């Protein structure tokens, strides 16, 4: 099996299924790993027992069931594509299942800690602090993914400041409109007033770095982690934690799972239902603290 076949399949994913560059890069790494495991055996010669052995080897090296499930999904999709042109007789991944892993609930910040994080310290009156506050308020206000926020352009400000909503492109380039709260709108207005002093000429990005270009994913992650440390939070905070906090807090207040699904951009309600477990944990803590028969004597 030539690398050209892999390139052709990945190009198809990017063009027809409109997968993000990040997802396509992950699929490429998954197929590179398959080639490494296969050694001298050509990919079109692989059989079910090979795939089972590869999964067992990777599990033995410490890969979780979730990671192995993603690998299998990529491999299965590639072989299914090959099978349409009779390049393989059968899909060697058919019937192979990854080992189960314990399901970890998403980590959300308590409401009070979220407030501490978003409250800019008195000394943070520089342009970068104004930008950071706008980013983090928007993360929490609208439940954006890191890639969605980093990809925003300056022209998104018009709908934010005018209609109180923002249009983002989610996974598979699926567009959605999400509301933006008053705190986030105020923070974005403050950033809009000073953005041009940092941005390079003709730079379209909404959030820019020291050199005037679009702020990268890693830079946003580091700025958020540093803010959390300065504000005295006892956890390592990452952008997706603010998305989890948004979903959990809105669900606790409204109980409207469908609305949360729409705002998060989940294709399936099953992806959103994990937050009902967080909501139950919250209710259980309230019960334990309040019910006379639940209190430990």
pLDDT at 204 over 80: yes
Q: Please say if the pLDDT value at position 102 is more than 80.
A: no
Q: Of 249 and 204, which is predicted with more confidence?
A: 204
Query: From the candidates 28, 35, 70, 145, which is the catalytic residue?
Result: 145
Known catalytic membership, residue 50: no
Q: Is 243 a catalytic residue?
A: yes
Average per-residue pLDDT in the chain?
84
Burial pattern 189-200, b for ≥16 Cβ within 10 A else e, equals: ebbbeebeebbe
Q: For strand 175-179 and strand 165-169, is the pairing parallel, antiparallel, or unpaired?
A: antiparallel
Confirm whether 266 is a catalytic residue: yes
Is a pLDDT exceeding 90 seen at residue 76? yes
Q: In the predicted model, is pLDDT for residue 284 greater than 70?
A: no
Given the residues 70, 107, 183, 266, the one annotated as active site: 266
Using pLDDT thresholds of 50, 70 and 90, give the confidence band for residue 176: confident
For 15-53, the pLDDT digits (tens) are 888 788 888 899 999 999 998 999 888 888 889 999 999
pLDDT surpasses 90 at 109: no
pLDDT of 229-276, one tens digit each?
989 898 889 998 898 888 888 877 777 777 777 788 777 766 666 666
Selecting among 52, 59, 240, 282, the annotated active-site residue is 240
**From 33, 171, 238, 282, the catalytic residue:** 171
* Catalytic residue flag (residue 218): no
């Amino acid at each position: 099996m030539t690398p050209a076949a892999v390139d052709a399949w990945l190009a198809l994913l990017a063009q027809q299924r409109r997968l993000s560059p990040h997802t396509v890069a992950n699929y490429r790494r998954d197929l590179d790993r398959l080639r490494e495991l296969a050694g001298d055996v050509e990919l079109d010669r692989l059989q079910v027992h090979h795939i089972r052995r590869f999964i067992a080897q990777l599990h033995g090296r410490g890969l979780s069931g979730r990671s192995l499930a993603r690998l299998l999904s990529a491999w299965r999709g590639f072989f299914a594509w090959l099978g349409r042109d009779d390049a393989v007789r059968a899909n060697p991944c058919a019937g192979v299942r990854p080992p189960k892993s314990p399901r970890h609930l998403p980590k959300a910040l308590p409401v009070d800690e979220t407030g501490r994080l978003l409250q800019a310290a008195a000394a943070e009156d520089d342009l970068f602090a104004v930008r950071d506050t706008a980013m983090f308020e928007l993360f929490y206000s609208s439940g954006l993914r890191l890639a969605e926020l980093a990809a925003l352009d300056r022209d998104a400000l018009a709908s934010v400041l005018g209609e109180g909503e923002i249009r983002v492109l989610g996974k598979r380039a699926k567009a959605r409109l999400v509301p933006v709260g008053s705190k986030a709108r105020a923070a974005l207005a403050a950033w809009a007033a000073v953005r041009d002093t940092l941005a390079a000429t003709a730079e379209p990005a909404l959030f820019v770095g020291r050199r005037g270009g679009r702020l990268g994913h890693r830079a946003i992650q580091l700025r958020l982690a540093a803010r959390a440390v300065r504000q005295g939070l006892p956890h390592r905070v990452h952008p997706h934690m603010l998305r989890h906090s948004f979903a959990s807090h809105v669900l606790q207040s409204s109980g409207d799972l469908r609305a949360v699904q729409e705002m998060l951009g989940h294709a399936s309600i099953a992806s959103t239902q994990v937050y009902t477990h967080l909501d139950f944990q919250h209710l259980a803590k309230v019960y334990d603290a309040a019910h006379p028969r639940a209190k430990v004597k």
